Amino acid sequence: MPLVRLVLRLLIIVIIYIIIFWALRIMYKDIKGGNRRRVSRQLGLEVIKVGDNKSNLKVGSVIPIHSKMTIGRREDNLLVLHDQYVSGHHAVIFIKNNEYFIKDLDSTNGTLLNGKRLDKVLTLKLDDEIIIGEYIFKVIG
């Protein structure tokens, strides 16, 4: 009987040490970030200027950017811009590997990023300025 008690006591002590080790390991991973991916900050577009046309957007309003946002004059876009200088499907903003990108969709009048016409896919950063037709947007976080 005393041998059984001794074995049970040792077993309980071992289990307690395993639980303590497991808890410390979880806390360490939590402090160091563990295996989870770091998610970049959610970006949005602040409306700086709207065209002379009757716009559905107001200066100062913020449009959150989700996984993929198509921009253009046609109603099937996520962001519809009522402007004669905006193509039906003008540009797209998308997220890949936690980075935000913008691409011109071969629009007639082009898309400007910080004053330069887009000719390839580029990464968006905070405070970037996007001009599409007569609309001006600022990337905010």
52: which DSSP letter? S
Length of the chain measured in residues: 141
Quickly state the pLDDT bin for 53 (edges 50, 70, 90): low
Q: Which pLDDT tens digit goes with each residue over 18-52?
A: 999 999 998 888 887 655 555 457 899 999 999 77
Q: Which pLDDT tens digit goes with each residue over 98-133?
A: 899 999 999 999 999 999 999 999 999 999 999 999
pLDDT of residue 56: 78
Measured from the Cβ of residue 109, the count of other Cβ atoms closer than 10 Å reads: 17
Domain 44-140 has CATH 2.30.30.50: no
Cβ-contact 139, 127 below 8 angstroms: yes
Helix (H) or strand (E) run with residue 80 in it: strand 79-80
Q: Which pLDDT tens digit goes with each residue over 57-106?
A: 899 999 999 889 999 999 999 999 999 999 999 999 999 988 999 999 99
Handedness of CA 63, 49, 133, 56 (dihedral sign): positive
Q: How far apart are CA 141 and CA 126, in angstroms?
A: 6
Name residue 55's amino acid: S
Cβ-contact 128, 138 below 8 angstroms: yes
